[in-house]
Amino acid sequence: ESNLPMALLEAARIDGSGEFRTFNHIVLPLMKPAIAVQAIFTFVANWNNYFTPALVLTTDRKKTLPILIAQLRSADFLKFDMGQVYMMIAFSIFPVIVVYLILSKYIVGGVSAGAVKG
C-alpha cells in the first residue's frame, strides 16, 4: 500500500504529464527525505565497516580508520594510549558529521513540508 495519494498521480496524468516526468517532478521530491535518511545510513554502515577491509587489505598504508583504531587498542593491552584512541575516534566521526549536515536539510525540509496544511 502506498502513502502517495492517487489523486496526485491522476492530476498529473490529466495535466498531460508522462510517467517519467511525473516521477521526476512529483514523486522524487516527495521521496527526498527518505532518500537522505537511506544515504546517511548507508554511508555510516560503509564507513564503519570492519570485516570486509580486514579481509581484503594487506598493506598498512591502505587500512581504514576502524581497523587502525582496533589495532591501536590491541597493540599492547596494558599500555595503550587512550588519547591516541580517542583522537582516532574523533577523526573517524568527522566525515559522518559532515555527511549528516549536508543531508539534514532534506530531512528537515520533508518534515516541515509534511506539517504544513493547505
- C-alpha cell of residue 39: 544515504
pLDDT of residue 74: 72
DSSP summary character for residue 4: S
Spatial distance between the Cα atoms of 65 and 92, rounded to a whole number of angstroms: 6
Q: Is the pLDDT of residue 114 over 80?
A: no
Residue ranges of domains in the chain: 32-115
Give, as one character, the DSSP assignment of residue 23. I
Question: With 70 as the cut, is the pLDDT of residue 115 above it?
Answer: no
Stretch 8-18: mean pLDDT, rounded? 89
pTM: 0.71
pLDDT value, residue 39: 92
Rounded to an integer, the average pLDDT of 70-91 is: 79
